[in-house]
Amino acid sequence: MTTPLRLHPDRLFPSDPTTRAIARALYATVKDLPIVSPHGHTDPRWFAYDQPFANPAELLIVPDHYVFRMLYSQGVKLEELGVPTIDGSSTETDPRAIWHRFAAHYHLFRGTPSRLWLDWVFAEAFGIDVRLEPATADHYYVIIDAALKTNAFRPRALFDRFNIEVIATTEGPLDPLDHHRAIRASGWAGRVVTAYRPDPVMDPDIAGFPERVRAFCAMAGEDAGSFAAYLRAHEKRRADFRAAGATSTDHGHPDAFTAHLPPAEIEALYVRAISGPVSAADARLFRGHMLTEMARMSIEDGMVMQLHPGVHRSHNAAVLARFGRDKGGDIPLSGEFVQALKPLLDLYGNDRRLTLILFTLDEDVYSRELAPLAGHYPALRLGPPWWFHDSPEGMRRFRERATETAGFYNTVGFNDDTRAFLSIPARHDVARRMDCAFLARLVAEHRLEEDEAHDLAHALSYDLVKKAYKL
């Protein structure tokens, strides 16, 4: 006996009838707005060449660390889910077998945002009306696999179907940007832009840093021997990225530490960093100084700057050694911004030409540090709840802790920050529903007029993100 799969129209809305009615009315005006996705990790090859997705497992399980980290925590081996190994050793290659393992463990996602996203994909994207469980695994596989073989499920068709106005991918400093050139040369009207993620040539703690810096400088036609030439290489690569549509940079540092060193000190530190391993303190100092340099460049070239700090990357050493980075082992760290950002803010925090969007995985700093900072400095904006917190409760906590001090207009709407292309509409829908629920409560408590709530619902869903990211 199968169980129906039904997406309740009032999901995530308040249970109180009066407040729920207000949330419904707000949501009705924003649910069909175009999606602006200013930061994420979808593959530009999808849009450049418009090839079909291979099969249900390759689309929804193998690349999605939200999915396989939960299964791994319950004893399912990554090899059994087809996650490739660094050394090329054997992993599961039968996509139907991978799908069956996923279906057998789907109950693990009860109460999680992944369950909300996946059920939306199953019901809305593929039209499936029964719940995923072992007995329906083959039914799901057949429907999804058949759909992926049709033109309606090619990347560009889905881009249009999901009403995506613009989507930003994220590329490293050594990326030749060939896929973005191919998108533009194809004549397709979909707007796909890139974003500049220079971490691999800004963080001396990453293995192979000296070799990458030399390759990076050579790519830009500069000699890696001096810090000035290294900065020029960044300026040239930023220009290359802007030519590929980029309006933003992105920085994924371990913390928010910034610094501003005298010329002789940073030159000496740079020489040490490209000569071989440096101490952790030196690596942090170099990263901190480079964040300040990136802010200066953003003022000069107009690119929006994003800072995503506070993650212990690849905490599980065994998984890192066997499968590499981005395999579900990243763990949040506590954050500090007030002292960490002061060197950068002393120089550029009052300059309206700079937009620095701050993210955190430490919710304790929303009300204590981030909201007061963004509520004062013209250059600062608050990014939406990120990664572990882009969930209904995470979104609620963010609005509750940040709004009273930073207001709504020092935030930047929503970004989905995902590799899972089909989940993008589901994620934006969750954000719109939660914002409407929050605004409805303010109206019901007579803290906001209903016409103001309608203005804000539109701004949070669409206007603020376009303005903040210059899209």
pLDDT value for 32: 98
Q: Measure CA 81 to chain center.
A: 23
Q: Are 15 and 442 in contact (CB under 8 A)?
A: no
pLDDT value for 1: 79
Tokens of 405: 């001090």
User: What's this model's pTM, rounded to 2 decimal places?
Assistant: 0.97
Q: How far apart are CA 116 and CA 391, in angstroms?
A: 9
Runs of H (alpha helix) within 205-246: 209-219, 227-243
Q: How far apart are CA 301 and CA 413, in angstroms?
A: 23
pLDDT value for 326: 87
DSSP per residue, 288-355: HHHHHHHHHHHHHH--EEEE---EETT--HHHHHHH-SSSS--EE-----TTTTHHHHHHHTT-TT--
Tokens of 97: 């077998």
Helix, strand, coil distribution of the chain in percent, nearest 5: 55, 5, 40
pLDDT value for 276: 87
DSSP per residue, 152-189: GGSHHHHHHHTTEEEEE--B-TT---HHHHHHHHHT--
pLDDT digits (tens, 9 = 90+) for 166-199: 999 999 999 999 999 999 999 999 999 999 999 9
Q: Are 91 and 323 in contact (CB under 8 A)?
A: no
Q: How far apart are CA 100 and CA 391, in angstroms?
A: 26
Q: How far apart are CA 457 and CA 471, in angstroms?
A: 19
Q: What is residue 107's three-state secondary structure?
A: helix
Neighbours of 61 (CB within 10 A): 20
Tokens of 211: 């070799």
Q: How far apart are CA 337 and CA 335, in angstroms?
A: 7
Question: One digit per residue, pLDDT tens: the chain, 471 residues?
Answer: 799 999 999 999 999 999 999 999 999 999 999 999 999 999 999 999 999 999 999 999 999 999 999 999 999 999 999 999 999 999 999 999 999 999 999 999 999 999 999 999 999 999 999 999 999 999 999 999 999 999 999 999 999 999 999 999 999 999 999 999 999 999 999 999 999 999 999 999 999 999 999 999 999 999 999 999 999 999 999 999 999 999 999 999 999 999 999 999 999 999 999 998 999 999 999 999 999 999 999 999 999 999 999 999 999 999 999 999 889 999 999 999 999 999 999 999 999 999 999 999 999 999 999 999 999 999 999 999 999 999 999 999 999 999 999 999 999 999 999 999 999 999 999 999 999 999 999 999 999 999 999 999 999 999 999 999 999
Tokens of 226: 């001096």
Q: Are 216 and 174 in contact (CB under 8 A)?
A: yes
Question: Residue 359's closest CA among 402, 296, 315?
Answer: 402
pLDDT value for 386: 94
Q: How far apart are CA 56 and CA 96, in angstroms?
A: 8
Q: How far apart are CA 228 and CA 157, in angstroms?
A: 45
Q: What is residue 356's three-state secondary structure?
A: strand
pLDDT digits (tens, 9 = 90+) for 241-282: 999 999 999 999 999 999 999 999 999 999 999 998 999 999
pLDDT value for 250: 98
